[in-house]
Amino acid sequence: MEVKKITFQIHGDDRGQLIALEEFKEVPFDIKRVYYMYDTGEGVRRGFHAHKCLEQILICIHGSCKILLDNGTEKEIVPLDKPYEGLYVSNDMWREMYDFSPDAVLMVLASELYDEADYIRDYDAFLEYVNKHA
């Protein structure tokens, strides 16, 4: 499976580091929504879904976590621990997030507003979806 990681340009100087993200530049879609997870409990695993349309970029802007990506055929575990690195996750990818460090902040840039109807939360339904759209 091809894992699409994007390394963002760091605008650093003697004051520190700054990352700027703009739609259709660093981020390959229209950014309609931003959300982030923090204070994630030890041992918590979340996600467990794919999407019909939504594209996302995941950035662990502080601390570390792991992302399991599953395209229905292959699985890949992607560690995220750099604020200047984004993981592109396409709609048709089952994802789970886990191994959050206590200080982890996982920020997500999303191509659509929140829409529960876009979620595929059942793993068998996901396999059916990817096979139908292959």
Kindly list the residues in this chain that would bind ligand TYD in the complex (CB under 6 A). Answer: 33, 35, 46-47, 49, 114
For tokens 């390959």, name the residue. Answer: 28
Active-site annotation holder among 11, 49, 62, 133: 49
Torsion angles phi and psi, residue 32, rounded to 5: -100, -15
3-state SS assignment for residue 123:
helix
Q: Between residues 33 and 52, which has the closer beta carbon with respect to ligand TYD?
A: 33
Q: For residue 129, what is the DSSP state?
A: H
Q: Residue 32 CB, nearest distance to ligand TYD (Å)?
A: 10
Bridge partners, residue 120, by sequence: 50
Whether 62 is a known active-site residue: answer: no
What is the nearest approach in angstroms of ligand TYD to the Cβ of residue 26? Answer: 21
Minimum CB distance to ligand TYD, residue 48 (Å): 7
Q: Whose CB is nearest to ligand TYD?
A: 46
3-state secondary structure of 109: strand
Which residues share a beta bridge with 68? 77, 96
Residues annotated as part of the active site: 49
